[in-house]
Amino acid sequence: MTSTADLPAASQLGRIRSQGGRSYQITPDDLLWLARSVRYEGGNKPATAWTYAQRLVLFNNPNLMRLVQGHSQPVNPIWRRDGEKCRPGGPYHGDQRYCSEAQLARRDEASTIPWSRLPQDVRDTIVGWAQGRVPDPVPRATDFADASVSTQFLLRHPDAAVVSRDGNWYLSEGASSAPGQGSRAWPRDYVTIEYNGQSAGPATGAGLFNIPGWALWVGIASGAALLVGGAIAGGVVWRRRRVKPNRRRVSRR
């Protein structure tokens, strides 16, 4: 068990709640691993945290820490130097695209960095999120990845949609990739975080419009360049940012 001595206690953290009746108490372990993921995934910090809360609800996952570890490549044990993907005999051992020494060293750091050494803005964001003080900038988003991986996912799942594009692409999912009708059919405030009488939900103007995956097919067919450059949709500004390395999502799908 990782030491959580420097972290807020569970009694100082809120609950993830859904309109479907899910209630999940956030734990110190959840906080640590989520903060590690947010630090090394890049993108929008609140968006990444909220995406994991919504993913927890969509897939009815019993443990947020395990969900983050299984989804986020920088902290995923299978992508460590002794994990099944990169160790000698593993399918990507020695592959410079996925298991270079620089990538392995970065994952070593991401999976072991203590809470006290994480940047202050990351710690402040994650604690604020867990205490219901950070609005949700990506309602309905349940997955994220870099532009190339997201594009391929949207082409395979045209009922998914782009909620926001901010370093990473934040995606809502439809029935083809998620249980039931997926998250695209949810109300904007389907998932909230409650703590000490305070509740956080969607940020003003967030999630009013989604760009569906089928639009990519239209764009390809017409030769249009969709989902690139600066765009304003429903009051949400999409910004191009340089995505940090280690953005592969080989393990996710």
Going by pLDDT thresholds of 50, 70 and 90, the confidence category of residue 217 is low
Q: What is the pTM of this model?
A: 0.85
CB distance 125 to 49 below 8 Å: yes
Q: What is the pLDDT of residue 233?
A: 40
Q: What mean pLDDT is reported for the chain?
A: 87
Q: Residue 18: which of 139, 193, 212, 246 has the closest Cα?
A: 193
Question: Length of the chain in residues, anyone?
Answer: 253
Q: Where are the domains of the chain?
A: 10-238
Residue range 40-80, pLDDT digits in tens: 999 999 999 999 999 999 999 999 999 999 999 999 999 99
